[in-house]
Structure formats: C-alpha cells, structure tokens
Structure 1
Amino acid sequence: MTPHDVKPAHEAGRERGRGAHKGQQTRAAILDAALSLAAQMGIEGLSIGALAEVTGMSKSGVFAHFGSREELQISVIREYHERFEEEVFRPAMRQHRGLPRLRALIKNWVSKVATEIDSGCIYISGAVEFDDRPGPVRDALASMVLLWHGALNKAIQQAIDLGHLRADTDPMQMLFEIHGLILSLHHDARFLRSAGAVDRARVAFERVVQYYAQGAPHPLFPNAAPTGAAPV
C-alpha cells in the first residue's frame, strides 16, 4: 500500500456515514415490511425467514439488523408505538389541557382504529396473541400499551384539576370505560363489519364525558353538537 492508497480521514468518515445511513434505510424498509406482515399474520407470524422472502433479502441480511426473531418482534412493537404516538398523541398535545386535549386524544385514537379496520391494531391483536404467553415480547407490548394508558390517565387528571370533570372522577375508571368503547369499535368494525361503529364510538365517548362532567365547575361541551352524532 502506498501513501496514495490511504484515504484522507474526512473521506473515510463520509463513507462510514453513508454506510450507516444506508443501514438505517434498510432497517426502516424491513420494519415497514414487518408491520405489514404483522397486520396480516400477527406478531407471532413474524420471522427472519418470512421477512427475507417479502423483502427479497437474504436471511443473513435481515438477521444482521435484528439478531433474533424475538428482537425483530420487539422492534416492530416499538416502531408501531412510535407511529401511534406520531398519529394519535403528538397532534393532540397542540390542544389546551383538559377536555380539549382529552377529546383530541380520543378523536385521533378512534380515527387510528378506523384506518386499521382492514389491517388490525397491533395493540389489540397482540394482546390476544400474548395474553397468556409471558416473556420479553409480551413485556414490550404491555409496556407500550401502559405508556399510552398513562398519557390518557394524565389527560383525564388534568381535566379534573381544571374543573372540566368532577373532582370525584376516578381517572382509571374513566379510562377503563374509554378503552372498552375502543375495543367495541375494533370488534364491531373489523369483525362484524358494522358501518356505524365509528359514529357509535364517538357518541359513546361523549356520553362518558357528560357523565363525569355533570356538576363539574367548568365543564366544556362542543357547541351545536348534531343529534345522535356528538363530535369527539
């Protein structure tokens, strides 16, 4: 090797940077394919071999990005959660605290479920798959769901503190009821193919809100809500 064969440090650095960027792009493409596959086959249907087939990569190429089937499954759960936050949680944070923010969170959640009627919600389908299967995959899924529940619980508590909901409101009970209507929406829209499931979920949420806001110091209700179709 001659001095001319040695690349300057800045050129070598650029090459390493390009390589790292390409690796990130490849990993993102694999995760896209994995999310689509999980929507069709469930988290348990994910495997290094299945992803290699749908992406046109070698098994060793997919393995290099995740290391194991379990790590692949956990990475898909985390990626789904990141996208869930991007679509549901973060836009709602632009609303004022209290009922405006809580309503935005639920509106976005209902919309998310509505767009997943054909593909299914990984949080819900994953719970069915792993409810009785302890291990790291179940733990990862449960931790993501609990993070979301924590955000909802905080929004409910803020609505109580601001006087939008009664002081005696139990945040966990209200959250339980809201989660129940989301599960009903998923069941009726996806399994029964009920055309009115989304509207019923929105009406159900407003009934929950009105129950807990009754007698509150400063309740906030939508103006001119159409009969039978209260907006979220």
Structure 2
Amino acid sequence: MGKRELTREHILKTAFDIASVDGFDSLTIGQLAKASGMSKSGLFSHFNAKENLQLAVLEYAGEQFVARVIQPARQATPESIEQKIRLLCQYWLAWNNSFQGSCMFLDAWKDKQETHDVIQQGLIGLTRRWLDYLQRQIEKAIVRGEFSPDLDSWQCVYRLYGVYLSSHLFRSLDLECGEHRRFWLGIDELLASWRK
C-alpha cells in the first residue's frame, strides 16, 4: 500500500471513530483534519467534498462490519447454521457495543430520511446486504432440515432484527444488563420456535 493509500486509510479510520461517537453528519473536513493531524487542504484532496467523505466512511464502515461480524462467524466453522446465526448475533451485538456512542448505521437512519440522498442510498444498500445475508442463512438452515420447512425466512429476519433493535433501545435506556440477558433470551426463543 502506497503513502497516499495509507494516508487515506488513516483518515477513514479516524472518521469512522468520530462517526461512531457523533454520527455521520458530525463529520466535517475541519474536524477530521484536526483529528487526523492534517491540513484541511491535504485532507480535502483525498475526498473533494463532505459527501464524498461521508460515502467513503460509509464504505469503510461496511468493510469493518464484514470484518467484525461476518468473517469471524465464517472462520469459526460452526457445526450448524443455527450455531452460525447465534455467532452472527454475538458479533453483531458486539459491533453495536464497540462504539462509544451507538451504532452509526442506526444513528444515520435517524439522521437521513430522504431516499434520494446518496448517503441514505448507501445505508439502504449496506443494510439490505446484511438482511439478505441473514435471510440466506435461515434459508440454508431450512434446506438442511435444521429449521421448519414452513418458515417464512424474511419474517424470521424481521423478528431477529426486532430483537436487535429492542436490545439497542433498552441498552440506551439502561434497561438491558451488561450480559444482554434480554437479547439472548429473545434469540433463544426465536431459534427454538424455528426448529423442526
């Protein structure tokens, strides 16, 4: 990796850290230049506009999500798809809890409501890829006979995401313990109801 690519990677990591705490809209060229130890013009030369910076950070966040959530579950070589789904939930929850603020994807959904906005389109794409991935895992478990053949896999994803969102909300209100007992109880109940 060349010097320019290393610098860009450093900028994106710094921006990702800032957005994790303060949200995408908080990212400014000036703030990021200061946090990165660069001049505004030096930083601007990498992105040319705030929107380009936000898109690059969003792409970086998507790569980090895959590296922290999907890849570890794949590398663990679980014995069943159900175990893989449980691992995905574990890493997904850890992803959310790794930020000082909250999940930047959830916060960005709150901040961006217009569907023609390029950041919103990026968020839709990333979220849809994650939901599609979860749906494929549930379909695999159905095909392998781990889950009931009459399950609606999209309804399963809907319920799984609901447990995740509920945990996020309860955690922000100090109604979820550090061990995420409510989250895991919800996951256990879902998985049990999906089995044959």
Report the TM-score, using the length of structure 2 for normalisation: 0.92
Given the alignment, which residue of 7, 20, 34 partners 1:53? 34
Q: Are the equivalent residues in 2 in contact too, given 1:98–1:160 (CA < 8 A)?
A: no
Name the amino acid aligned to 2:34: E
2-structure distance, mates of 1:35, 1:133: 23
Given the alignment, which residue of 156, 168, 171 partners 1:174? 156
Gaps of 5+ in 2: none
2-structure distance, mates of 1:165, 1:58: 55
Partner residue, 1:70 = 51
Secondary structure in 1 matching 2:126: helix
Q: How does 1:134-213 map to 2 (within 5 A)?
A: 134-189=116-171, 191-196=172-177, 198-213=180-195
Runs of 4+ in 1 over 6 A off after TM superposition: none
1-structure distance, mates of 2:189, 2:19: 34
Q: State whether structure 2 residue 85 is matched by structure 1 residue 98.
A: no
Partner residue, 2:109 = 127
User: 1:41 deviation in Å?
Assistant: 2.2
Partner residue, 1:225 = none
- Can you list the C-alpha shifts for 1:51-86, whole angstroms capped at 9, x where unaligned? 112222111111111121111001111111111111
- Can you list the C-alpha shifts for 1:19-42, whole angstroms capped at 9, x where unaligned? x61111111111121112112321
User: 1:114 deviation in Å?
Assistant: 2.7
2-structure distance, mates of 1:212, 1:173: 11
Secondary structure in 2 matching 1:163: coil
Given the alignment, which residue of 72, 93, 113 partners 1:110? 93
Percent identity at matched positions? 26
2-structure distance, mates of 1:134, 1:211: 38
Partner residue, 1:33 = 14
Secondary structure in 1 matching 2:70: helix
Q: Are the equivalent residues in 1 in contact too, given 2:135–2:157 (CA < 8 A)?
A: yes
User: 1:195 deviation in Å?
Assistant: 4.5
Aligned residues between the structures: 193
Report the TM-score, using the length of structure 1 for normalisation: 0.78
Q: Which has the larger radius of gyration?
A: 1
Partner residue, 1:10 = none
Given the alignment, which residue of 56, 59, 63 partners 1:82? 63
Secondary structure in 1 matching 2:157: helix
1-structure distance, mates of 2:13, 2:48: 17
User: 1:111 deviation in Å?
Assistant: 2.1
Name the amino acid aligned to 1:206: D
Q: Are the equivalent residues in 1 in contact too, given 2:115–2:121 (CA < 8 A)?
A: no
